[in-house]
Every structure is written in structure tokens, then in C-alpha cells.
């Protein structure tokens, strides 16, 4: 198949395919007429790349999966190098989850402090200061 058909079937653009070719993720085969030619295996590799990128993998992290497919394995993640990429990505995700959990705790503590401060102001006899964002009562 030609580049336009591959792009359509993969849900991407010809520009993206040329970029993948320049990065060595797609073969640079040419037919007798000089046009790029692709096959079903190339489509399979592209789908693998797209799936991984949807999961947050960067383009270079997809390389072991593509190479695994090109080596004839039924799945792109059935090679040791692919498994190593999965492990690294899980470690990155765990670290991000830890960071987000810590930030969430801090924001929750700030919210609790602010709510307690507002409750304390509301119980005082004097009128609490108005927030700039509170609509005026006229």
C-alpha cells in the first residue's frame, strides 16, 4: 500500500509517517515507481506505536515494541526489551502518583485550614471581610 492509504488506515498523517521513517520506526521501502510502499506489518507496527503513545509513552520508548514485531513476534511486548520499557514506565507512573498524592494532601490541608478560618470568622460578631469574588448584595 502507498503512504496515503497507510496513513488513512492508521488514523494518522503522511507527515507523521515520514517522521517515523526518518526515526527508523518505519522502513524506507520504495517501489519501482519511486513511491513509498508499506504492508500489513507496517500497519501493525503503527498501531502499536499509536497505542503506546496514547498510554503516554514517548516515541523512542516504542522502538523495542516495533523491533519485537519486526523480529516476527506475535505481539510487540513479547520481548525482554519491551518488558523493560513497561517496567520503567510503571516506575515513572508510580513516582508521579506519589508526587500527586503529596500535592493532594497539601491542598486538602489548605482547604481544611481555610474552611476553619471562615467558620471562625462567621461565628464572630463583626461582619467578616468580603471576598473580591463574592457578588455584592445590592
Residue 138: the pLDDT is 54
Are 10 and 47 in contact by the 8 Å Cβ rule? The answer is yes
Q: For the chain, what is the domain count?
A: 1
Domain of 71? 3-123
Continuous H helices in the chain: 3-10, 14-22, 40-54, 63-70, 80-123
Within-domain flag for 128 = no
Are 41 and 70 in contact by the 8 Å Cβ rule? The answer is yes
Q: What is this structure's pTM?
A: 0.76
Q: Which residues of the chain have pLDDT under 50?
A: none
Cα 75 from Cα 65, distance rounded (Å): 8
Residue 38: the pLDDT is 95
Domain of 42, CATH number, reads 1.10.1660.10
Within-domain flag for 34 = yes
Residue 127: the pLDDT is 62
Residue 120: the pLDDT is 84
Amino acid at each position: 500500500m502507498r503512504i496515503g492509504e497507510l496513513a488513512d488506515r492508521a488514523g494518522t498523517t503522511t507527515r507523521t509517517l515520514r517522521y517515523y521513517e526518518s526515526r527508523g520506526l518505519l522502513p524506507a521501502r520504495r517501489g519501482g515507481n519511486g513511491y513509498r510502499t508499506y504492508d500489513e506489518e507496517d500497519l501493525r507496527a503503527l498501531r502499536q506505536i499509536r497505542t503506546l503513545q496514547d498510554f503516554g509513552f514517548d516515541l523512542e520508548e516504542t522502538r523495542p515494541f516495533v523491533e519485537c514485531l519486526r523480529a516476527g513476534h506475535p505481539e510487540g511486548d513479547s520481548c525482554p526489551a519491551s518488558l523493560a520499557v513497561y517496567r520503567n514506565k510503571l516506575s515513572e507512573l508510580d513516582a508521579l502518583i506519589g508526587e500527586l498524592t503529596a500535592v493532594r494532601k497539601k491542598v486538602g490541608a489548605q482547604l481544611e485550614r481555610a474552611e476553619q478560618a471562615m467558620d471562625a470568622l462567621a461565628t464572630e460578631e463583626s461582619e467578616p471581610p468580603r471576598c473580591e469574588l463574592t457578588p455584592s448584595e445590592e
